[in-house]
Amino acid sequence: MKTIQIENAVAMIPDGATVMVGGFMGVGTPERLIDEIARQGKRELTVIANDTAMPGRGIGKLVEAGVLRKAVVSHIGLNPETQRRMIAGELEVDLVPQGTLIERIRAAGCGLGGILTATGVGTLVEHGKRKLEVDGIEYLLETPLHAEFALVEAFLSDYQGNLVYALTARNFNPIIAMAASTVIVDAAHIVPIGMIPPDHVITPSVLVDYVIAHH
């Protein structure tokens, strides 16, 4: 049994931790876990995610609560508060092209030493990065992104932690579940073992450490 009370799950995340969060503009983001992080008043967290959603939703709540030190994301265009804090020097923002971001996360999950991408060659993005030439084409070596915790939202979980996602809420969730030391899942529905056909499992239970219990 991998179920855990949400308060105890979030209590495991120390101040200063690096946390990956699933979601795309808030879709597929584990809102209950986000709310509990804000409630417990965590501090100096680094979040790795697609974006910072918008005010009052998803990671936007963490921005407003002031719990973040740094955000590694592909865009912040939907969240004026993220922009304000970045410009004011209150929040460090590392903007990474979306495809590069998810590939760096995947590299960590697959045990790769990095990825080669032509995105950013000849721009400010290449500053401080290694360049490699393959068949006459220049690439940047982008390093893997790993996290101490991944916060995942699933549609279905069984009591072992086998996961199924709903439509576009799948987004970053299966990839971050491979790239973090501890994976905490908030599932809309928890079902008995055997209810999810093996062929339908997207994230296998071996990757999942905890599933938030339903009250």
Residue 131 has pLDDT above 90, yes or no: yes
What mean pLDDT is predicted for residues 97-123? 95
Tell me which residue of 10, 31, 37, 20 sits closest to 174, measured CA to CA: 20
How far apart are the C-alpha atoms of 68 and 106, rounded to whole Å?
Answer: 23
User: CA torsion sign, 147 to 18 to 94 to 52?
Assistant: positive
CB-based burial, 198-211: b 16+ in 10 Å, e otherwise: eeebbbebebbbbb
CB atoms within 10 A of CB 21: 32
Per-residue tokens: 165: 């996602």
How far apart are the C-alpha atoms of 99 and 181, rounded to whole Å?
Answer: 23
Residue 1 has pLDDT above 60, yes or no: no
Answer yes or no: are the C-beta atoms of 100 and 125 closer than 8 Å.
no
Burial of 168 (0-12, 13-18, 19+ CB in 10 A): exposed
**What is the pLDDT confidence band of residue 195, given thresholds at 50, 70 and 90?**
very high
Tell me the pLDDT of the chain averaged across its residues.
95
**What is the pLDDT confidence band of residue 124, given thresholds at 50, 70 and 90?**
confident
Answer yes or no: are the C-beta atoms of 213 and 180 closer than 8 Å.
no
Per CATH, the homologous superfamily of domain 3-112+145-212 is Glutaconate Coenzyme A-transferase (3.40.1080.10)
Q: Which of 8-22, 120-134, 177-191, 194-208 has the lowest mean pLDDT?
A: 120-134
pLDDT of residue 214: 82
Q: What is the largest CA-CA distance in the chain?
A: 59
pLDDT of residue 35: 96
Map residue 23 onto helix, strand or coil.
coil
pLDDT of residue 139: 97
**What is the pLDDT confidence band of residue 2, given thresholds at 50, 70 and 90?**
confident
Residues 6+ apart with CB under 8 A from 197: none
Residue 215 has pLDDT above 70, yes or no: no
Answer yes or no: are the C-beta atoms of 209 and 140 closer than 8 Å.
no
What mean pLDDT is predicted for residues 13-42? 95
Q: What percent of the chain has pLDDT over 90?
A: 96
